[in-house]
Copies of this chain bind each other. A is one copy, B any other.
Amino acid sequence: MEPTKKPLLYGYFRSSCTWRVRIALAFKGIEYDQQAINLVKDGGLQLSDEYKQVNPMQQVPALHIDGVTLSQSLAIIEYLEETRPNPPLFPREPKKRAQVRMISDQIASGIQPLQNLCVLQKIGETKQEWAKHFITRGFQALEKMLQITSGSYCVGDEVTVADLCLVPQVANAVRFKVDLSPYPTIVRINESLLQMEAFQVSHPSRQPDTPEELRA
């Protein structure tokens, strides 16, 4: 254990949950190394015995930091917030913090798990329609929630963890050809966030493991 060593992020360029953590690390100015876990090559490197030791759930991301290995993107981000509080990714007021977590969990528990790779693989042929159905359902609710909570960003006028969940989820929606026109608040916030450096440097099109043809 060398506390001065850079954190090591196990991830995949296109994983939306990995992207959340990449944004957090960039936003907080934390330097880190990356270990690419290709989720499709050879049936998925996340299923290897080696990676199973890193994360028994056989999913990305995982972050080795301060001598421990953490998984689950939001747990990782809460840890970063508690140990590296500046700049903050949460407001200070408990009700606002609750709104941030409510929106984050609505995406992280209510939408993303249903279009996760291992789920779509089990769904098979109809996976496009399946993913579209659950993203649409989630975005209908999210649009209503954001109409109440948002300012410039998901909750008020400061970037929070909710924004780190929103942008990768919108990218997934686009990938699954979800029509975004019924969600003007989602679209507006997403576009503002994509102007920010932390969201740009962490973008799937700019990672070490991004294939040449998908590079920005």
**A interface with B by C-beta (< 8 Å):** 55-59, 66, 68, 70-76, 78-79, 82-83, 94-95, 97-99, 101-102, 104-106, 108-110, 112-114, 118-119, 122, 130, 133-134, 137-138, 140-142, 144-145
Contacts and interface: CB of A to CB of B under 8 A. Distances in A.
Contact of A98 (B70, B105, B141): B70
Given A57-B110, A110-B59, A105 B75 contact: yes
Contacts of A112: 109
Contact of A78 (B68, B83, B97, B106): B97
Interface of A is mostly: helix
Give this chain's copy count.
2
Nearest to A144: B56
Contact of A56 (B59, B74, B133, B141): B141
A141 B74 CA distance: 18
Contacts of A75: 98, 101-102, 104-105
A108 B109 contact: yes
Contact of A106 (B57, B99, B122): B57
A137 to B, nearest CB: 8
Contact of A113 (B99, B109, B140): B109
Nearest to A74: B105
Contacts of A130: 122
A72 B105 contact: yes
A145 B56 contact: yes
A140 B58 CA distance: 11
9 contacts: A56-B141, A56-B145, A57-B145, A72-B102, A72-B109, A78-B97, A78-B101, A109-B109, A122-B130
Contacts of A98: 68, 70, 75-76, 78-79, 82
A165 B101 CA distance: 17
Given A56-B144, A57-B145, 6 more contacts: A56-B140, A72-B105, A72-B106, A76-B98, A83-B94, A108-B109
Contacts of A82: 94, 97-98
